[in-house]
Amino acid sequence: MVILRSPVVSEYETQEQTEIYDRWFREKVREAMDDPLPGISHDEVMAEMDALIAVAEARKKAKQV
């Protein structure tokens, strides 16, 4: 069964919760934009994640044997 959700209805119970989340989110974006460290390319991140996943899968497979 598919539940259709209105894009107009907030996932938060109160307007205050919505505003608190919005402030938190905007602060995180501002911090990221102001970060002086160089960015990491998508391809580099994906390569690192692929390596981590491969290690985890190898460990899981080794435990099953």
Within-domain flag for 47: yes
Within-domain flag for 46: yes
Within-domain flag for 5: no
pTM over the 0.85 mark: no
pLDDT at 53: 98
Per-residue pLDDT at 3 exceeds 80 = no
pLDDT at 40: 93
pLDDT at 65: 72
Q: Which tens digit of pLDDT belongs to each residue from 9-65?
A: 778 889 999 999 999 999 999 999 999 999 899 999 999 999 999 999 999 999 987
Within-domain flag for 24: yes
Within-domain flag for 58: yes
Q: How many domains would you assign to the chain?
A: 1
The CA-CA-CA angle for residues 5, 6, 11, to 5°, reads: 75
Burial-class residue 63 by CB neighbours within 10 Å (0-12, 13-18, 19+). Answer: exposed
* Chain Cα centroid distance, residue 56: 20
Within-domain flag for 55: yes
Given a contact cutoff of 8 angstroms between Cβ atoms, the answer to whether 31 and 24 are in contact is no
Q: Which domain holds residue 23?
A: 15-64
